[in-house]
């Protein structure tokens, strides 16, 4: 029975979901780092919020961990590269707190436009400074969104309801999506020049770090209102302070900071600046939603292999998993075949999908094929770590699809370049079982066997008899025997399933046969 540790405060409903799905669960919030390291090897899953720091040290100690689930969107507290290297899926719940975060951005926008925080403090201090606090309407103003994904799209929808004009800078926003949600897609420079209000809705990456640098802030429209409820580090805080003090930016409202908890910050005490302590996801509804979602996602993965909202692995729905399963088994075995004949290392990899399989979710199939491919070379590899390991080693990967397959309903072909030459293996699924369908572009139909001899030979008389005699003399039983050839007397292959391990001296005798060009013992 899979076992899950919840190491942060999480809704009791999450615990009930884990239990109802048949998982064992321990609720231990507030563990110190040393305490977590001491027990983490007992668990298959780790559910966290933001307090637990899933560092590389903890991940190395997590010998049996298969999944880390973050109840929320931000994963700054999880070492994703370390988890990927160890083959641990990292999931988040990007949609559970979307409405809450978007509403907070809108609230900050209003608060900045109407100086609500300062007016509140003044009024409760017994002052009645009605003439001091002159606000601005948001009606008919231009809102510039930096990032227009899920949360940005919700902010856009609310802003359009306020009769604002919405423009968005987002390289991943398609023109069709922009049209559908009623925003104008623009370049960053255009947004900086036109926006009356800017709201940030991007993750923190090397590309987005300091997206509002001192230089870019100086390009903004005078009187700008700036809102950041996304991530700290997106804005040059010292530069923003200067622009608030000289009046170029009229107001700013931040929920996030470069260093958190923000005990001290260049923006604190700046004129017309509002700060909240990372409250974007802090509503009862959002916390309940993300807790339920992370429990469902982790349970699905541990029970059925379905992957949802993973940050280091392609998603697989519960509906897709049964359809993908036989092709995943095929991809893994084809990869293992290709990896075992890549005698001079990997220089390039190409994976081709033909027929019905090309209509499926191919990303997990590619990851599975790469795991099979790399395992003979690197040993400790799985579907999570394989794509990253291939990329880390600088091996180019190409994927291609073809609507039809000349012979089979579906075909997967793996080509590996090793020693400057391409080697090819292809297979299909017949009656739910993976089969070899092609080797070196020669057609044959062979099942995978736990131990197989792959022999490349010239098609000349005497080979089959000599091979059978050698194996018989060595007391090695032949389970399956399949042949393929280019033509009479030309290049040929033999795939021989055997019931015993073939000793090195027998392999050497097979290599010595005059017809044999190459021989390899394969294990599946």
Is residue 134, in this structure, part of any structural domain at all?
yes
Q: What is the pLDDT of residue 95?
A: 81
Is residue 361, in this structure, part of any structural domain at all?
yes
Q: What is the pLDDT of residue 40?
A: 96
Residue of 278, 375, 413, 449 marked catalytic: 278
Is residue 90, in this structure, part of any structural domain at all?
yes
Q: What is the pLDDT of residue 392?
A: 76
In angstroms, the CA 521 to CA 524 distance is 10
In angstroms, the CA 482 to CA 493 distance is 8
Of all residues in the chain, the percent with pLDDT exceeding 70 is 100
Q: Which residues contact 91 (CB under 8 A, 6 or more apart)?
A: 67, 68, 69, 70, 294, 297, 298, 301, 307, 308, 309, 310, 311
Residues 274, 279, 282, CA angle at the centre, nearest 5°? Answer: 150
Above 90 in pLDDT, residue 284? no
Is residue 144, in this structure, part of any structural domain at all?
yes
> Do 454 and 386 share a structural domain?
no
Q: What is the pLDDT of residue 173?
A: 87
Q: How many helices (H) and strands (E) does the chain have?
A: 17, 22
Q: What is the pLDDT of residue 167?
A: 98
Residue of 24, 57, 103, 260 marked catalytic: 260
Instruction: Look up the pTM and report it.
Output: 0.63
Above 70 in pLDDT, residue 197? yes
- Catalytic residue check, 278: yes
- Catalytic residue check, 231: yes
Residues 197, 200, 201, CA angle at the centre, nearest 5°? Answer: 135
In angstroms, the CA 229 to CA 188 distance is 19
Q: What is the mean pLDDT of residues 334-343?
A: 93
> Do 40 and 14 share a structural domain?
yes
Q: What is the pLDDT of residue 332?
A: 92
Q: Domain total for the chain?
A: 4
Is residue 127, in this structure, part of any structural domain at all?
yes
Q: What is the mean pLDDT of residues 409-435?
A: 94
Above 90 in pLDDT, residue 73? no
Closest CA to 514 of 453, 457, 471: 457
pLDDT digits (tens, 9 = 90+) for 225-252: 999 999 999 999 999 999 999 999 999 9
Render 457-496 in DSSP notation, one character per residue.
EE--TTHHHHHHHHHHHTT--EEEEEEEESSTTSEEEEEE
> Do 396 and 503 share a structural domain?
no
> Do 21 and 39 share a structural domain?
yes
> Do 266 and 163 share a structural domain?
yes
Residue of 231, 241, 375, 423 marked catalytic: 231
Range of the domain at 46: 3-96+285-304
Q: What is the pLDDT of residue 460?
A: 87
**Is the separation of the CB atoms in 521 and 509 below 8 Å?**
no
> Do 437 and 358 share a structural domain?
yes
Does residue 244 sit in helix, strand or coil? helix
Q: What is the pLDDT of residue 218?
A: 97
Is residue 55, in this structure, part of any structural domain at all?
yes
């Amino acid at each position: 029975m899979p076992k899950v540790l919840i190491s942060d405060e999480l809704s009791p409903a999450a615990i009930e979901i884990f239990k109802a799905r048949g998982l064992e669960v321990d609720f231990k919030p507030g563990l110190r780092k040393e305490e977590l390291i001491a027990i983490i090897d007992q668990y298959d899953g780790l559910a966290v919020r933001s307090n637990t720091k899933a560092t590389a040290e903890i991940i190395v100690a997590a010998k049996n961990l298969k999944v880390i689930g973050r109840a929320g969107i931000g994963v700054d507290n999880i070492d994703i590269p370390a988890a990927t290297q160890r083959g641990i899926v990292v999931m988040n719940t990007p949609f559970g707190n979307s409405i809450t975060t978007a509403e907070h951005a809108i609230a900050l926008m209003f608060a900045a436009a109407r100086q609500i925080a300062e007016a509140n403090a003044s009024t409760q201090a017994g002052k009645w400074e009605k003439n001091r606090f002159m606000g601005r309407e948001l009606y008919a103003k231009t809102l510039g969104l930096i990032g227009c994904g899920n949360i940005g799209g919700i902010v856009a929808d609310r802003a359009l309801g306020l009769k604002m004009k919405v423009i968005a800078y987002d390289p991943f926003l398609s023109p069709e999506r922009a049209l559908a949600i009623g925003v104008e897609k623009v370049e960053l420079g255009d947004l900086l020049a036109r926006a009356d209000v800017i709201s940030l809705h991007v993750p923190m990456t090397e590309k987005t770090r300091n997206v509002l640098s001192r230089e870019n802030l100086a390009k903004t429209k005078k009187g700008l209102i700036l809102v950041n409820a996304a991530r700290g580090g997106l804005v040059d805080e010292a530069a923003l302070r200067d622009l608030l003090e000289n009046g170029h930016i009229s107001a700013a409202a931040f929920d996030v900071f470069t260093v958190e908890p923000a005990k001290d910050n260049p923006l604190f005490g700046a004129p017309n600046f509002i700060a909240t302590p990372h409250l974007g996801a802090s509503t009862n509804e959002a916390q309940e939603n993300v807790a339920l979602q992370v429990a469902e996602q982790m349970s699905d993965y541990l029970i059925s292999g379905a992957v949802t909202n993973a940050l280091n692995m392609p998603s697989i729905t519960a509906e897709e998993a049964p359809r993908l399963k036989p092709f995943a088994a095929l991809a893994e075995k084809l990869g293992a075949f290709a990896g075992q004949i890549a005698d001079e290392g990997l220089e390039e990899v190409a994976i081709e999908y033909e027929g019905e399989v090309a209509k499926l979710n191919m990303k997990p199939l590619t990851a599975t094929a790469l795991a099979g491919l790399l395992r003979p070379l690197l040993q400790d590899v799985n579907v999570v770590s394989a794509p990253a390991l291939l990329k880390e080693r600088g091996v180019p990967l190409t994927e291609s699809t073809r609507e039809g397959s000349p012979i089979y309903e579906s075909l997967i072909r793996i080509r590996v370049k090793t020693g400057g030459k391409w080697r090819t293996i292809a297979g299909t699924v017949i009656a739910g079982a993976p089969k070899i369908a092609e080797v070196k572009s020669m057609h044959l139909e062979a099942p995978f066997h736990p131990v197989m001899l792959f022999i490349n030979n010239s098609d000349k008389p005497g080979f089959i008899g000599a091979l059978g005699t050698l194996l018989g003399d060595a007391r090695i039983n032949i389970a399956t025997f399949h042949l393929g050839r280019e033509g009479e007397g030309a290049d040929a292959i033999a795939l021989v399933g055997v019931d015993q391990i073939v000793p090195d001296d027998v392999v050497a005798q097979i290599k010595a046969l005059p017809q044999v060009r190459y021989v390899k013992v394969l294990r599946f």
